[in-house]
Structure 1
Amino acid sequence: METVRKNKTFLIDTLSTDASIVLQHVQSDDIILQRDYKNLNHPNYTDEKIIINLLDTVMGRGDETCRKFLKVLEKQELQEIFPQLKNHFTPETSHERRESAKATGEVDEYKMSSVPRGVCLIINNMDFGRIKDYRNGSEKDEGVYGSFHPQSL
């Protein structure tokens, strides 16, 4: 999903030149359903809007769907129609990257190697106004990750 997200602007610019061909490929590869195809291919949508909605749909369905979508972008037929894809999504590069990750047991995740790493804010919601909506166990997160109390400023 990270690859699609990072390249979203590029993909919108590139694929918006012919959204219909992209929709046909993602539908034929079972990345979207017939219903999705009809919703995305709305007559009042611009090609750009179609691609934006397609990318949002693909990312909303998780990593496996994103991987399938990237595989479609590696197809020679699509790369001939959208030559800019060759610079970003080549079968050899993507395949090697996946095989390398499988061989080392790596999982697609956020790398924690930059210095400084930055700050992470965890909002610990426990009380939602009704007793039955109280989130039990939330205090355990606070114990594990620490806490910040604004009144201590």
Structure 2
Amino acid sequence: MKRIKVSIAALLFVALLALNSYAAPSPAPQPPTCQGKTPTIVGTNGNDTLNGSLGPDVIVGLGGDDQIKGLDGDDVVCGGDGADTVTGGGGEDILYGDAGNDNLRGGKGNDVAYGGDGDDYLEGNDGEDFLDGGMGTDGIDGGKDQDKCINYESHQRCNVD
């Protein structure tokens, strides 16, 4: 009888060890988004060259020093970390530099560009654009037409035509 008790106790102990060592699977990593929108094109954490389509795109560069062109269509582009160069193209684009020293250039439409953190350069080009340099010492050039701009930290002159 004593032997049965020891065997049952040993089995229970092994079962408890197995249960305690079982780890629930980690949740799957969340896919990237750009301002809450599901991307149609996603880069990597390296230096990428990403080109949009002739229609509307949502592009996420992730990390690295990326070259991103939205091309035609009303695009939403998030550069991600790194020193990114983002060009909107035709359409009414929304460009986010995010972290890093970024170059954001609108296109022919009425574009919106947010530099984010870092020392950024924002250029509106054609259209009535809204340019927000964000934090850092930023350069802002509205380009043609009547543009609005904000440069919180450096208080540099905004070129508004």
Higher strand share: 2
The two structures share one fold, judged by TM-score above 0.5: no
Higher helix share: 1
Larger relative contact order (CA 8 Å, sep ≥ 6) = 1
Larger radius of gyration: 2
